[in-house]
Amino acid sequence: MTDNQQPRRVRELGILVGSLPTGSLNAITDVPGVRVGHTTIVDPPRLHTGVTAVVPDALDGDRRSLPCGLFVGNGFGKLVGATQVAELGEIETPILLTATLSAFRAADALVTHVLAGPGHEETRTLNPVVGETNDGRLSDIRARPVTEAHVLAALDGAAPGLPGEGCVGAGTGTMALGFKGGIGTSSRMVDGRTVGVLVQSNFSGTLTVRGVPIRPDDDGVCPVVGAAGAPTHAANQPEGNSCMIVVATDAPLDARQLGRVARRAVFAMARVGSDFTGGSGDYALAFSTAGAAAPGAPSSGSLADSDLDPLFAATMDATEEALLNSVFMATTTVGHRGTATAVPHDLVLDRLRSAGVLSQASTTGPVS
């Protein structure tokens, strides 16, 4: 049962992804100068939604853009600002995540926030970047409850510590892999550089942990149920099947190389069991806080392509762990049109032990 289960990160449960070390927080905020803020909107059972802001401090009055790559795993989404990111290979604003029908209000509020900042007194063009997933099963998405005040609160409250995970911010009403989804984060250190990932999980498939499938209707696990209380296949899946992945790094990469990094982040969804359905909007944005070359300029300041393999591995491992954290840190949620159940930690650990991928002695306490 999961009713009294405490949210725990997978590493605290002894579930280790890859061999690379994490940063001190095991979060996207391990990348120097990257902050995260959440605004959570809950009025049960009708509203479970919110806003998450990823804020790179390197975007200030003196530096107006950062190199950024975009990879679209499947384009059934409403990623505001995507065409300019693809065309110019840069972001000009923080990155916001929210619910599908609130993305456009969030974009307007993001413009308000940036124009009010130092160095933008004469700005007459700006490309806000807002990603989304559809939380319409657990929240009344048509109400569009996200306001400018909610967005500004997430931006102004962005902090450098360990971000909230699970049912918080843009992950408050999401579902993933047959269970309650949410926000998750992780990081990896490689060759003196940091790669950090934050995800908003809201996609279908079979939850897979270290290669072991965990189905929501096996061994008495309560599945996601519809509003009438009857388990159905459709009720096990989120509305609008999508995932947003944000990758940050302090490695000196140009936009083309960051596009290659973003591609690996989407690839990592397969490790946790995504079925990549045609109605899914799967996007990854990867940006660098280092002084990489501007678009169109020589890339002599960037790493050589032959040196990228360790960063690719770090990205895939951090994304996999962030996706798992998004589910394991989530709690059972009774929503607008159904209930999403938290993944049962004990069952997962038993399955992993039986499969020989987790030690029998694992995990009564945190794992560093």
Give dist(CA 72, CA 259) in Å, integer.
10
- The amino acid at residue 21 is P
Nearest to 181 by CA among 167, 169, 191, 192: 167
Q: Residue 125: how many CB atoms within 10 A of its CB?
A: 6
How would you classify the pairing of strands 225-226 and 338-340? Answer: antiparallel
Is 65 among the catalytic positions? no
Please tell me which residue in 282, 302, 317, 326 is annotated as part of the active site.
282
Structure tokens at 39: 């605004």
**How far, rounded to the nearest angstrom, does the alpha carbon of residue 3 sit from its chain's CA centroid?**
25
Please tell me which residue in 187, 201, 274, 280 is annotated as part of the active site.
280
One-character DSSP codes across 299-358? -TTSPPGGG-HHHHHHHHHHHHHHHHHHHHT---EE-SSEEEPPP-HHHHHHHHHHTTSS
Is 242 among the catalytic positions? yes
Please tell me which residue in 187, 242, 274, 288 is annotated as part of the active site.
242
102 DSSP 8-state letter = G
Q: Is 33 exposed, middle or buried (0-12, 13-18, 19+ CB in 10 A)?
A: middle
How would you classify the pairing of strands 175-176 and 129-133? Answer: unpaired
One-character DSSP codes across 38-100? EEEEEETTTEEEEEEEEEETT-SSS---EEEEEEEEEE-S--BTHHHHHHH-EE-S-EEEEEG
Is 191 among the catalytic positions? no
Q: Is the peptide bond before 32 cis (omega within 30 degrees of 0)?
A: no
- The amino acid at residue 5 is Q
Give dist(CA 121, CA 249) in Å, integer.
29
CA geometry: angle at 131 spanning 125 and 134, to 5°? 140
Active site residues: 242, 280, 282
